[in-house]
Amino acid sequence: MIIVTGGAGFIGSNLIQQLNQQGETDILLVDNFAPAPNLSGPKFFNLYGARYADYMDKHEFRAALKAGDLAHAKVRAILHQGACSNTLEDDGRYMMDNNFTYSKELLHFALGRSIPFVYASTAAVYGASTSFAPEPANERPLNVYGYSKLVFDDYVRRLMPQIRSTVVGLRYFNVYGPREQHKGRMASVMHHFTKQLKESGVIRMFEGSGGYSNGEQRRDFVFVNDLARINMFFGGLLPESPAQPVQAVVNAGTGHARTFKAVAEALMAVHGPGKIEYIPFPGDLKNRYQHFTEADVTTLRAAGYTAPFTELEEGVRLTFATA
């Protein structure tokens, strides 16, 4: 059995679809279908066509871990995508329980049984930095979401000298792809720009900020299927997966930043022509917004993952071919 937490979410549902393409269907899907104010639609739409063996609510799953109910389950890998990913959430207690304590519970379950454990971290740990190597000097989160992920990364790092099984943290950069329509404001710019373009023929993006001119802010945009493959690679689920256990916290991005203007141009190449309009930078994002991100992929490559990443234009095409 493969456990995928957050399996109905954006990344988790795409991961399950990719696992299915590899012939994997013995999957325990863990998620929380309770309504949430930051969601713009139900997550179960993401699971159309997905094949998995069983489902558990996140709270039921955590209770089962604590009670030892899963002690005898034959688990091949744990791919932990479950978290609160709302970067505007300010409830630190809630965020730390979801992103730190829950992850810690699952980590120790995996360590006690030598199960490969691959988990989602985030580029938000870099926050105020302009250098993106996974080193403490660069880790300066701007919100409690990034902080909660950094605290867990640091917990894993402290344990690494005594870990013998695979434990890999993946710091996701700006992820885009199909199955993110439920994410509301937290959806990628591809989703928001597409909606604007189809409704009005105009893509609206921020005026210059952070030292960048209009539309020239740059992000490392990574296609969700690439992240699914990285999870599967370190989870030991691909023919080319490492033969020996890996312990690492690495960046999961392309290593090549692209402008928001380039995103708009790629979308117009798919959906048809439109105009770009620049709008004032929103006040609620001041001091909590990354104007530039670009993954340093040195440690990812050193950990053994050498596959190329999908180019932005191709990823945008594939997103709307499969959405």
Within a domain: 206: no
Q: Which residues span the domain enclosing 226? A: 2-178+221-255+293-309
**Looking at residue 88, what is its pLDDT?**
67
pLDDT digits (tens, 9 = 90+) for 123-148: 999 998 999 999 999 999 989 999 99
pLDDT at residue 317 tops 90: yes
At position 20, the amino acid (one-letter code) is N
Residues paired with residue 250 on neighbouring β-strands, in sequence order: 170
Within a domain: 166: yes
Within a domain: 44: yes
d(CA 254, CA 33): 31
To the query of whether residue 149 is one of the catalytic residues in this protein, the response is no
Within a domain: 85: yes
Q: Which two tokens stand for residue 66?
A: 């604590």
To the query of whether residue 183 is one of the catalytic residues in this protein, the response is yes
Given 43, 126, 147, 183, the catalytic residue: 183
**Looking at residue 209, what is its pLDDT?**
81
* DSSP for residue 309: P
pLDDT band at residue 37 using 50, 70 and 90 as cut-offs: low
- Tell me the average pLDDT across 248-255: 98
pLDDT at residue 36 tops 70: no
Within a domain: 21: yes
pLDDT digits (tens, 9 = 90+) for 83-111: 877 766 778 898 899 899 999 999 999 99
Give Cβ neighbours of residue 199 (< 8 Å, ≥ 6 apart). none
> What is the number of domains present in the chain?
1
pLDDT band at residue 183 using 50, 70 and 90 as cut-offs: low
171, exposed or middle or buried, with CB in 10 Å at 0-12, 13-18, 19+? buried
CATH number, domain containing residue 37: 3.40.50.720
In DSSP notation, 16-33 reads: HHHHHHTT---EEEEE--
Q: Which two tokens stand for residue 310?
A: 């999908």
Within a domain: 281: no
Q: Which two tokens stand for residue 128?
A: 């105020």
- Tell me the average pLDDT across 225-232: 98
- Tell me the average pLDDT across 257-279: 95
User: Which residue, chain included where needed, has tokens 């791919």?
Assistant: 79
Given 102, 119, 145, 176, the catalytic residue: 145
d(CA 172, CA 178): 16
* The Cα angle at residue 10 between residues 7 and 14, in degrees rounded to 5: 70
Within a domain: 93: yes
